[in-house]
């Protein structure tokens, strides 16, 4: 394939490295001319992926037209809140019917739209896919075994992409439930912030395991209420990604939660971060959608209230433990 990767953060850089390892021509686009020069000159991404050498075959540019020239597959690796702006910037240079694969795991602020919905609005007529699952950028870049899921509506094209993206250390499964896979990425990030809050309060494995398990129940309730397939939530995009994001030291969402649990404010955390923790940005939008659809999501509500209303993490942990008794399986 001739590929363009839009977004020079940690995941975009790692995925570009993976594409080159698969033998594909790859051009990595980053919006900043300074960042593009640094990547091209140092053959490394010192800000987002330090210590990982970029392959000589990987081209780097800050010009959308250069990245998209002759590309037959385009990967969106920008945060969800930057997808619309990026799509508009690349629209004039994008060839018709080129498949678009997005790697983001969030919702657009205010509108609450999923990434595929944004791309459908801004770049109509292109086959759309989401690539998701437990896939820390650092581990993918280092060539560690990873399994992900590729979701889209076109089965035949999905199979072609699956074959092109597979590698001895990178296994790709196919799914048709695009909506479910996208919502998995959104909700698990918010739940991972909640698990981090528990860690920041000083609680241990029991508490984290309870939050992950009951968080999975929230994910299932929310996703099925919006039309997703229940099986999706027990796969790589759901349970798999939730476990790794809620427990790993590499998880930005968990690290943000730890800081919230220790009493830091959301504004200070955001100001101090170079990378994006999608769960922190998605918490308010997700909670609004849960209310709109009348879905009970107590952990999501707690994360929202702690992060956006500066309410007490300790009090919300007590609130969760003191909820009325209920059956685990209604």
Q: Which residues are catalytic?
A: 188
User: Distance between CA atoms of 239 and 236, rounded to whole angstroms?
Assistant: 6
Q: What is the largest CA-CA distance in the chain?
A: 60
Side-chain half-sphere CA neighbours of 233 within 13 A: 23
Q: Is 149 helix (H, G, I), strand (E, B) or coil?
A: strand
User: Distance between CA atoms of 127 and 12, rounded to whole angstroms?
Assistant: 20
**Class of residue 203 by CB neighbours under 10 A (exposed 0-12, middle 13-18, buried 19+):** middle
Side-chain half-sphere CA neighbours of 41 within 13 A: 6
Are the CB atoms for 279 and 189 separated by under 8 Å? yes
User: Distance between CA atoms of 191 and 197, rounded to whole angstroms?
Assistant: 10
The tokens for 250 are 């590499």
Helices (H) and strands (E) in the chain — how many of each?
15, 10
Paired strand residues for 171? 147
User: Distance between CA atoms of 218 and 155, rounded to whole angstroms?
Assistant: 29
Q: Which residue has the tokens 């969800």?
A: 80
Q: Measured in whole angstroms, how far is the alpha carbon of residue 284 from the centre of its chain?
A: 16
Render the burial of 120-149: b for 16+ CB within 10 Å, e for the rest: bebbeebbbbbbbbbbbbbbbbeeeebebb
Are the CB atoms for 327 and 310 separated by under 8 Å? no
């Amino acid at each position: 394939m001739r590929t363009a990767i839009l977004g020079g953060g940690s995941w975009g850089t790692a995925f570009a490295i993976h594409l080159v390892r698969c033998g594909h021509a790859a051009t990595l686009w980053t919006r900043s001319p300074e960042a593009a020069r640094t990547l091209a000159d140092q053959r490394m991404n010192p800000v987002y992926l330090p210590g990982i050498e970029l392959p000589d075959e990987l081209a780097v540019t800050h010009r959308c037209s250069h990245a998209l020239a002759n590309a037959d597959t385009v990967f969106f690796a920008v945060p969800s809140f930057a997808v619309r702006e990026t799509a508009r910037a690349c629209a004039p240079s994008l060839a018709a019917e080129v498949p678009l694969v997005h790697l983001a795991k969030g919702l657009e602020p205010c509108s609450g739209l999923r990434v595929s919905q944004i791309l459908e609005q801004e770049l109509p007529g292109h086959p759309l896919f989401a690539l998701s699952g437990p896939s820390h950028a650092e581990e993918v870049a280092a060539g560690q075994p990873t399994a992900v899921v590729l979701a889209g509506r076109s089965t035949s094209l999905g199979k072609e992409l699956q074959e092109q993206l597979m590698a001895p250390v990178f296994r790709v499964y196919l799914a048709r439930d695009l909506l479910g896979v996208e919502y998995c990425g959104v909700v698990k990030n918010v739940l991972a912030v909640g698990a981090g809050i528990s860690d920041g309060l000083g609680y241990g494995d029991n508490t984290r395991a309870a939050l992950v398990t009951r968080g999975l129940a929230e994910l299932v309730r929310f996703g099925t209420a919006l039309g997703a397939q229940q099986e999706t939530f027990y796969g790589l995009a759901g349970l798999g990604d939730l476990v790794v994001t809620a427990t790993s030291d590499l998880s930005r969402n968990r690290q943000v939660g730890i800081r919230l649990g220790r009493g830091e404010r959301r504004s200070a955390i955001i100001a101090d971060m170079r990378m994006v923790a999608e769960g922190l940005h998605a918490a308010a939008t997700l909670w609004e959608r849960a209310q709109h659809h009348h879905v009970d999501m107590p952990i999501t509500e707690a994360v929202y209230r702690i992060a956006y209303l500066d309410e007490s993490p300790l009090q919300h942990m007590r609130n969760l433990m003191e909820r009325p008794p209920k059956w685990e399986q209604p």
